[in-house]
Amino acid sequence: MQAAVLHAASETPRAESFADPDLQGQELSARVLASGLHQLVRVHANGTHYTSPKRYPLVPGIDGVAELPDGRRVYFSWPRAPYGTFAERVALDPARAIELPAGLDPVVAAAIVNPASASWFALRLRTALKAGEHVLVLGATGASGQLAVQNARALGAGRVIACGRNARVLAGLGADAALRIDAVDFAAQLETEVAAHGVDVVLDFLWGPPASAAMHALLSARTSAAMATRMVRYVNIGQSAAGTLELSPHILRSMKFELLGSGLGSVTPPEMAREIPGLLAEAARGAITIAVEPVPLSEIERAWTVPAKDGRRVVIVPSP
């Protein structure tokens, strides 16, 4: 079969022949329709992620959409190494695959699950968001952050505050409030917003200084009427701003505050599998959307090295 093959961690994958996947247990050979080129794919392939097999050659790709022999289209993830999803075929256990809702484009499904699931799991499993609660998204202008705003809406948030650096993207998110985190008075603006309306859940994709500024704004607003009885559930999902945080203990002692994390480990694979059908259903009805750039498997080298246009999510599509 044709596949994108990576021969060493420092190299770029290229399209070439690779052995068809061997089948074990209840596995079937399925035709891959689409697979997202997520950031996790890169770090998994180059050996810097804790889930990486660190054995080469390997086929990159961690999830995608495939067609089973009976014609059903399913979402699947984490095939056995060295077989990734950037290939014409994949071995998968149909019992672990999730059937796509009718009308959902396989390319959109392949693009959306990975970046959207980060906040979906946080809202559904780590914070148990209740209808009407207020959500603050820190890092809302990245792909995952934009989808976090949409997820919060789809799951019934009463108010969504989006914080990010890209003014154009912020303006188009449809959030109730949009704040620039690179503004000199960001913390003061956030304190005013929180004091006026309150916050129940924070989704943080940034960590580092922006997170510290946000936490201190929450602390300063804690005595307002809007915050007097609220328990803030602060969930870290990413660290695109920094890998460490200077945290004042007063934040933990002086307000109703829970500090949580959401990701592989804090959310189990069975929990993820139970949640993905709901996420796909929201995508099928158009409540969650994403811009995509389909790229043929034969052009994997360009896709791997050249940024996507206009922030679109690259989806690798094997040739028919």
* pLDDT > 90 fraction of the chain, expressed in percent and rounded: 82
What are the E-state strand segments in the chain?
Answer: 2-5, 14-17, 28-36, 63-67, 73-77, 89-92, 98-99, 134-138, 159-164, 177-180, 201-204, 232-236, 257-261, 292-296, 313-317
Query: How would you classify residue 139: left for phi > 0, otherwise alpha for psi between -120 and 50, otherwise beta?
Result: left
Q: Can you state the angle between helices 269-284 and 106-121, rounded to 10 degrees?
A: 120
**Helix, strand, coil % over all residues of the chain, rounded to 5:** 35, 25, 45
Taking only the tens place, the pLDDT of each residue in 257-283 is 999 999 888 999 899 999 999 999 999
Q: Is the pLDDT of residue 134 over 80?
A: yes
pLDDT number for residue 120: 97
The residue written with tokens 């695959």 in the block is 97
- Written in H, E and C, the secondary structure of 170-189 is HHCCCCCEEEECCCCCHHHH
Pairing of strands 98-99, 73-77: antiparallel
**Rg value, the chain, Cα:** 21
Residue 235's alpha-carbon distances to 122, 192, 203, in angstroms, are 7, 21, 5
Q: Is the pLDDT of residue 10 over 90?
A: no
Q: Can you state the angle between helices 269-284 and 143-154, rounded to 10 degrees?
A: 80
User: Residue 308: which pLDDT band, with cuts at 50, 70 and 90?
Assistant: confident
- Report CA torsion sign: 124, 129, 132, 136: negative
Counting beta carbons within 10 angstroms of the beta carbon of residue 146, is it exposed (0 to 12), middle (13 to 18) or buried (19 or more)? Answer: buried
Taking only the tens place, the pLDDT of each residue in 37-78 is 998 899 888 887 777 788 899 999 999 999 999 999 999 999
- Answering whether pTM is above 0.85, one says yes
User: Residue 320: which pLDDT band, with cuts at 50, 70 and 90?
Assistant: low
pLDDT number for residue 265: 87
pLDDT number for residue 133: 98
* pLDDT > 70 fraction of the chain, expressed in percent and rounded: 99
3-state secondary structure of 136: strand
Mean per-residue pLDDT for 119-132? Answer: 97
Answer for the pair 223, 254: CB distance below 8 angstroms, yes or no.
Answer: no
CATH 3.50.50.60 fits 2-99+290-317, yes or no: no
| Cα atoms found within 13 Å of the Cα of residue 314, Cβ hemisphere only | 24
Q: What stretch(es) of the chain map to CATH 3.90.180.10?
A: 2-99+290-317, 115-261
Least confident of 29-43, 47-61, 96-110, 279-293: 47-61
Mean per-residue pLDDT for 113-117? Answer: 94
Q: What is the CATH architecture assignment of 115-261? A: Alpha-Beta Complex (3.90)
Pick from 156, 250, 259, 131: nearest CA to 203: 259
Q: What's the CA gap between 246 and 252, in Å, rounded? A: 13
Q: Is the pLDDT of residue 319 over 80?
A: no
